[in-house]
A and B are shown apart, each in its own frame.
Chain A
Amino acid sequence: MNYKEIKADVVIIGGGGAALSAAINVGKDLDTLILDKGQVGKSGCSPNAHGGLAVHYKDPNDGPEIHFEDTLLSGGFLNNQDLVRILVQNTSEIVPMLERYGALFDRDEHGNLLVRRFGGHRYARSVFCGDETGHEMMNGLRREVYRLGIRYIDEAFVTRLLHDENGEIAGVFFYYLPTGEFYVVKSKAVVLATADAAGLWPAASERQRGDGIYMALMAGAEIADIEFIQYHPTHAWWPPGVRGSVSEAFRGEGGWLLNSKGERFMKRYDPENMELATRDKVSVSIMMEIRAGRGAPHGGIFASVTHLPAKYVKKRLPVIYQKYKNFGIDITKEPIEVRPRPHYLCGGVVIDENAATKVPGLFAGGAVTAGVHGANRLGSNALTDIIVFGKIAGKNAGEFARSREYHSPNKNEIEEEIKRIKEIFDKPWGEDSISIGKVRRELIELMDRDVGVIRNETGLKDAIEKLNYIKHEIAPRVTLRDKSKTFNFEVKDILELPFRIELGIASATAALMRKESRGTHFREDYPHRDDENWLKNIVFFLKDGELKVETREVELKYKKPTDFPEYAKSRSPWH
């Protein structure tokens, strides 16, 4: 079999914040190699996070304990409380560290860090740098990676984790996009930092495709909480050139949400708060309208400020006004079409306090994992998560690598993977061939319709059936048209297909099992939170090559819902 073999003590998969934080902390005595499917620092979500990094308890009444509680209340108490503890106890040194790496956060004239408050946080505790917080964080991390001289390979698409004869991690397999060559990297420890899987749904950009979650599952790790997909309620939807979220400010400044009849439909769902209802409620309401056939022409809903004086709009909503203006649209004159769009999958790979998975030698950190955010992630907690757990994953992977020799990756696994990719290239375009673009679209629309904002038993069962049909009848017909080896992005899309299908089935299965509503998971046939039966995580794993699922009681180690009487009394899925 034709492949190149290289070696590294520790391999880090990913090029976002979690990956770089891990790489920096492995230790200088070890040879660390970063493999990124895109380009380090430009790929993933990290450079695009705008808002903030929840790390600074500026208010004297604020502190780790309160941050801890806020995170659990948002997460519907499905969080792993030990992980949340670690998260909030490791915040204080993050800013000084990133600034030593070369970043700089916004301060006032006395040198005090400025902070923003995000929904669900009781205090303003998120530091920022203008609107480019994630970018500035990466500005720091990248420089440190350069300074340490850490090796990296861009456009290295890891498609499989490799075991030794005993089922321990022995390396990874990657498809090198620039040349189409196959590589095996022998390594003593591996860190997964490949982000979540929100791209299974109609995300505005498919940065998150579930690679790591799928690969970890296939390699013997557990995955959990993947029924919790967070949608942002008012994302730009049509026309297609304009992107990004239409921020809460739009509604805050008096913007209306209108259906195709021109009605302010929020009066049906939350007459008291109207457009200012909570995020999840707005998402559900919009999707209810769309489903009832009262949506806008392209599948969204109208958002309008045309009833407000143009001068006021320009003054109060300069960013949104300018954004649309750049694309030739004047929001003071015409309504825009918005829609809830997926933002973050709260679940992922199960890790312990050392960021270790069930598989010896496999560590994971950042958005690829489960446990920190429970059933719903608080804004600006993700960046904290990736720095803190990236670091823990890197450190422990280093320690593991030091205690161990190189093991030989299983030849069969390598051969299987090469065969799988070769077959994609060798298959000629035939009569019943189908292009990946079509199948991808089908899958995304299916997930959005039946495993999206509003779920019910019929839809979920239907989704599982269709996903299985696609898996067995359609996927085998998908054929690569372009057989070239150099930068073949079509083959990349095809290689991602199993992630989409398998994780889609798992997510729909978990959503069907969870007969309640909690956090981002809303079942219209079970619209209430049910703490009696559902303070549980739904966990998937392979056993003898078969996918198994099981529910596990959450360990309410430090805090339980009844510590918050008002929360415990309410059966609302949302906090």
Chain B
Amino acid sequence: MTAYIPEIKNPDAIYTIYIKRFNPETDAEPHWVSYKIPHVKSMTVIEALEYLQDQGIYVAFRANCREFTCGSCAMTINGKPGLACMTLLKDGMRIEPLRGYKVLRDLVVDTSFAGEKFRELELWPHLENPEARIEKVNMKVQERYKNIYSRCIECYSCLSACPQSDPESTVYPGPMWMLQIARLHEHPLDTMNRLDQADKNGVWNCAGCFECASVCPVKLSPGSLASFLRREIIKKEVGL
């Protein structure tokens, strides 16, 4: 998972960072450990973790692309969810696993809920016929796909930050799922009633606090899609 970076030979400072570590084989409770990291300009949290690996200290974390496109490396950084590969390293930084999920080891949490939710919500187009094809797309929808739907990297940061949802929540699955439902609602080939689905899945429970938007690493506002779906529901109800 680590990548190759040139060796850091002339650091501009030595930073101390704190990582909440937990190994279920040896620890009863998670605990904070401090590490010294040579710092150079533009370094992010991921390089600090990789630096430690290079020293033989394998803090467990997930990462893949290092370019904020795979959504694997979300963790809680100074109290807020964020991507390790995107967040600039600061002296005294406190790094812990993404909140709200079961910690498996160190910074690795159980994210198996995501695949289950995809299936539960049937987040694929329900086709009118198996050969259906897109002929034309509303330009607004096209723009939303390009700028919103396909840019969500499913990092779960917004789910972690949303005060109205948690992984076991039955009242409100959370912002990322509203985005996904809206995505299908606008997909030209989907025939399932997604507004009904949103209605049954707690779309009215979004509190509009926009914590989700404040943490989204790719600057989306998934909570706004809950509002969008609500507007669509109302529009339909009043027959517009």
Contact = CB atoms under 8 A, between A and B. Distances in A.
Contacts of A298: 6
A484 B25 contact: yes
Contacts of B106: 487
Interface in B181-221: 183-184, 187-190
Contacts of A143: 118, 123-125
- B interface, over-half SS: loop
Nearest to B125: A102
A152 B114 CA distance: 13
A328 B104 CA distance: 34
A490 B43 contact: no
Given A47-B69, A136-B150, A482 B132 contact: no
Nearest to B85: A243
Contacts of A489: 1, 53, 58, 60
B40 A204 contact: no
B1 A240 contact: no
A139 B70 CA distance: 12
B169 interface: no
A108 B114 CA distance: 33
Nearest to B5: A240
B236 interface: no
Interface in A306-338: 326-329
A94 to B, nearest CB: 13
B33 interface: no
A242 B111 CA distance: 27
Given A39-B62, A482-B58, A146 B119 contact: yes
B137 interface: yes
A527 B70 CA distance: 39
Given A102-B125, A146-B115, A444-B4, A486 B105 contact: yes
B153 interface: yes
Contacts of A130: 146-147, 150-151
A543 interface: no
Contacts of B65: 47-48, 205, 207
Contacts of B1: 38, 206, 489, 492
Interface size, B (range): 35 or more
A48 B69 contact: yes
Nearest to B132: A100
Which of B56, B85, B115 is the most central at the interface, judged by chain A CB atoms within 10 Å of its CB? B56
Contacts of B118: 142-143, 146
B115 A101 contact: no
B139 A481 contact: no
Which of B3, B40, B154 is the most central at the interface, judged by chain A CB atoms within 10 Å of its CB? B3
A146 to B, nearest CB: 5
- A interface, over-half SS: loop
Interface string A181-192: 000000000000
B105 A204 contact: no
A299 B2 CA distance: 20
A102 B191 CA distance: 12
B64 A38 contact: yes
Interface in A97-136: 99-104, 106-107, 109-111, 129-130, 132, 135-136
B101 interface: no
Contact of B187 (A102, A109, A488): A102
B88 A328 contact: yes
Interface residues of A, number: 72
A241 B44 contact: yes
B58 A104 contact: no
Contacts of A435: 55-56
A243 B66 contact: yes
Interface string B53-83: 1111010101011110111100000000000
B146 A106 contact: yes
A139 B108 CA distance: 23
B58 A111 contact: no
Contact of B6 (A43, A110, A144, A299): A299
Given A47-B69, A146-B118, A243-B66, A487 B53 contact: no
A529 B205 CA distance: 67
A205 B66 contact: yes
Interface in B93-133: 104-106, 108, 111-112, 115, 118-119, 122-125, 127, 130, 132-133
A102 B118 CA distance: 13
A202 B4 CA distance: 5
A204 B23 CA distance: 29
A475 B207 CA distance: 57
Contacts of B132: 100
Nearest to A300: B6
Interface string A28-48: 000000000011111110011
B34 interface: no
A63 interface: no
A238 B105 CA distance: 31
A422 interface: no
Interface of A: 38-44, 47-48, 96, 99-104, 106-107, 109-111, 129-130, 132, 135-136, 139, 142-144, 146-147, 149, 152, 154, 178, 202-207, 237-244, 298-299, 326-329, 435, 437-438, 441, 444, 481-482, 484-490, 492-493
24 contacts: A47-B69, A104-B149, A104-B188, A106-B142, A107-B137, A110-B136, A129-B146, A135-B153, A136-B150, A142-B118, A143-B125, A146-B118, A147-B124, A149-B119, A204-B66, A206-B1, A206-B2, A206-B4, A239-B40, A243-B85, A327-B42, A437-B56, A444-B4, A493-B2
Given A104-B188, A243-B67, 9 more contacts: A96-B134, A102-B190, A104-B137, A111-B136, A129-B145, A130-B150, A135-B153, A205-B65, A298-B6
Interface of B: 1-8, 23-26, 40-44, 47, 53-56, 58, 60, 62, 64-67, 69-72, 85-86, 88, 104-106, 108, 111-112, 115, 118-119, 122-125, 127, 130, 132-137, 139, 142, 145-147, 149-151, 153-154, 183-184, 187-190
